[in-house]
Structure 1
Amino acid sequence: MNRYASLAAGFLLLVTGYAAHADDAQPFVTNKDIDLTMILPPPPANDSAETKAELGEVLTLQVTRTPEMEKRAIADAEENVWRFADVMGPKFNKETLPKFSAFFDRVVATEGAVVDPAKDIWKRPRPHQLSDLVKPVVKLSNSGSWPSGHATVGTMMGIILADMVPEKRAEIMARAAEFAHNRVVGGIHYPSDIEMGKISGSVIAAVLLNRPDFTAEYEVARSELRSDLGM
């Protein structure tokens, strides 16, 4: 990841400052700074052996997933850092962490600003668009499937949160992996979409952690979080 992190020095600085609401959050970088089409390979063709095999994996999981797995997948359709509350503990909540919350709103906004343009270029159909047999249990989406935005943002949040609280690194990263995999459980993504999302999230996080504007807000958010958690 160092080769990607080294690119940070040449990236354009964006406007900093805390956003009052998630919808107003400004991304730290966009696809003009990190072009995923230059990093990731293109998705496999719709009629390829790989896509057919992956579709089989989605359908197998569809008949083997439990009600609890479905419940978790539906809950994880929400893209925010508070989905890590089950590993962070009861003190981890939006009401007591306003600066931390605003900071992660910007992290989430960054995912969309980098990933969505790449999705629009590749336009990989989602499983339910290729087969009527696929019945997602999460909200349907017709945006491009490659890479998974949820896997990207889950990985980003996990890496950044684990950097803030290294004492819980193993639990946080395991939760990030579950968050990403739940898009396959939910029937809305292929496994390879998730892998590409993990790569994308790792690249974006590595770049962000080397940006002065990001690290300035990161330190404020980290301090607030660790104080609130009594660390």
Structure 2
Amino acid sequence: MRTRGGFITVFAAGALLSACAGTPAALRPEAAKAVETKGYLTPSLIRTLADAMPPPPVAGSPVDLADKTRSNQFRTLEDSDRWLLATAHAELRPPLALQHFDCALGVRLGSATTPNLNRLMQRLFDDSDAAAELVKARGFRARPVGDDPARRSCQRVSEAGRKSASYPSGSSTVATVYGEAFAALEPGRAVEVRRIAHEMGLSRLVCGMHYPSDVAAGEVLGKAVFDAAAATPDFDADLAAARIELAAARSTGLTNPGCASERLALATPLP
């Protein structure tokens, strides 16, 4: 753990994990392999949701130019505390990504085993990722790091990654679905978890991986995916099982040691 400008970088490897305590078994990447990956939505419904999304802004249009101006302003956050948080937010796959919501929930996910919660979120991830990829395939828009090969990102990006489609932000889509799911699990903390979901989308602007309208479109798509998934027959039972596990995690009384650092990072003014 290193300190830079008073900020303890517990935002390691894409999740708010305590380096001293280690990664709980339930949250190690290999644990995700046992989680069912079938989503809630049929391919035809996913396509319907994707088809309802507008195309990306036309290159050189007022929206496109405004996006690029705003994106350049985010360069001022490179290597800041908010940049480090954005590095953590680049991890979107459950179960590790669920820890981004620890502080908003007031728990430490991983203090109890949560296979049902992990399964719920994996299914939502699969649906939201599939929908975002369908929209991307309909109309290509370059990423900020693709438009400017010299643009730094807060994550390791391959050449293929730089050339991949930016609209809509799949990360914002997934984060929004997670936020809506946690809001359904804990209605009393709906404002807090939705804020973190939005901040995860903003992190993609900090990283130079998306433009503002990409993130906004991802949020719209994410809400549509969640609403559709929540209306399926399996969803309520999965939500109830996940709620029991979340209560068990809360009963341990443990909280994430990185919450003070997260609050500091989120207090950084955005350009």
The equivalent of 2:186 in structure 1 is 165
Name the amino acid aligned to 1:130.
D
| Whole-angstrom CA distance in 2 between matches of 1:30 and 1:135 | 38
Partner Cα distance (2:170, 2:139) in 1: 13
- 1:34 is paired with a residue of what secondary structure? helix
TM-aligned CA distance change 1:49 to 1:27, over 3 Å: same
* Structure-2 separation of matches of 1:75 and 1:201: 20
CA separation of 1:72/1:91 partners in 2, compared to 1, >3 Å: closer, same or farther? closer
Q: Residues 68 and 205 (structure 1 numbering): CA distance in 2 closer, same or farther, change over 3 Å?
A: same
For the residues of structure 2 that align with 1:135 and 1:172, how far apart are their CA atoms?
Answer: 29
1:210: how far off?
A: 1.0
Q: 2:212 aligned with 1:195, yes or no?
A: no
- Which of 15, 22, 41 is the aligned partner of 1:29? 41
Task: Structure 1 unaligned segments of length 5 or more: list them.
Answer: 1-18
Instruction: Note the residue ranges of structure 2 that are not aligned, 5 or more in a row.
Output: 1-30, 253-271
Q: What is residue 243 of structure 2 aligned with on the other side?
A: 222
Contact 1:138 1:187 in 2 (8 A): no
Q: Quote the Cα distance in structure 2 between the aligned partners of 1:124 and 1:187.
A: 14
- The corresponding residue for 2:139 is 122
Q: Does 1:69 align with 2:90?
A: no
CA distance in structure 1 between the partners assigned to 2:178 and 2:153 by the alignment: 25
* Structure 1 residue 98: Cα displacement: 2.0
Kept in 2: contact 1:59–1:134 (CA 8 A): no
Query: 1:1-150 to 2 correspondence within 5 Å?
Result: 21=33, 25-35=37-47, 36-65=49-78, 67-79=80-92, 80-93=97-110, 95-140=112-157, 141=161, 142-150=163-171
In the other structure, the counterpart of 2:267 is none
Q: Deviations over 1:38-59 (max 9, x none)?
A: 2111111223232122111111
Deviation at 1:200, TM superposition (A): 0.4
Q: What do you get for the CA RMSD once the two structures are aligned? A: 2.3
Partner residue in 2 for 1:4: none
Could you say what secondary structure the match of 1:33 adopts? helix
Quote the Cα distance in structure 2 between the aligned partners of 1:100 and 1:175: 18
- Structure 2 vs 1, CA of residues 156 and 225 (structure 1 numbering), >3 Å: closer, same or farther? same
Task: State the TM-score, normalizing by the size of structure 1.
Answer: 0.83
Aligned residues: 213
Amino acid across the alignment from 1:33? L
- 1:181 aligns with 202
State the Cα distance separating 1:139 from its structure 2 match: 3.2
**Contact 1:30 1:113 survives alignment (8 Å):** no
> Residue 102 of structure 1 aligns to which amino acid in structure 2?
R
Note the C-alpha offset of 1:70: 0.8
Structure 1 position 30, deviation (Å) = 5.0
Q: 1:136: how far off?
A: 1.9
Cα deviation, residue 34, structure 1: 2.5
